[in-house]
Amino acid sequence: MRVAICALLTAFILIPGAILGVATGGAVDQTLPGNPTDPIKLALTVLSAFAGMFVGGAVWGWSISRITKAAADRRMAVAGGIGFALSATVVILPLGFLEDLFVEHHGGPQLPIHNVFTLLFTPGAAIIAGGCGAALGFGMRDWAMAGRLAWMCAITGGCAFLVVNLTLDGFGWRVGGPGAAARATMLT
């Protein structure tokens, strides 16, 4: 039962945490003058997005520690914050570049957009899930647990994303395809 509760907490806390981070970064990007590729503006945008995602990750790590009765609430909160914010930032930055390259400039494989989306975002989900799992193990000061959680969460996170993506595709709601914004399928 704890596993199911932790899984639900992960979805209900980290998704808003990601939205908070992206919104915070977007607000800073829109507020500051200049070109988005200006190093100072880019650094401030990324730092503010990191801070927003850190908050979501910290709440998640603390919540997981309470559910699992781990005696490391603060460490788990800090580990969850750093793990989520860092792994999400490490994934989001290259994904933005790759999405622009493949979609806008047609520099990648000549595949339909929904297939490109699946190929890019499934490993991204796996990396974020693995990073978050490893962070919780580090928060518990158990390196072996961190390793196990990293690979188990990475496989589970990537597979879960792929299952949701393919299910939506089966219903005709192509993630990343035409009309995806109207159905909010990008929130997979």
For residue 177, the model assigns a pLDDT of 66
- Cα 53 off chain centre by: 9
Instruction: Domain ranges for the chain, please list them.
Output: 2-187
Tokens of 125: 């989900």
pLDDT 10s digits, 14-62: 999 999 999 999 999 999 998 878 899 999 999 999 999 999 999 999 9
Six-digit token string for 68: 């699992």
Q: Is this prediction's pTM over 0.95? A: no
139 pLDDT more than 90:
yes
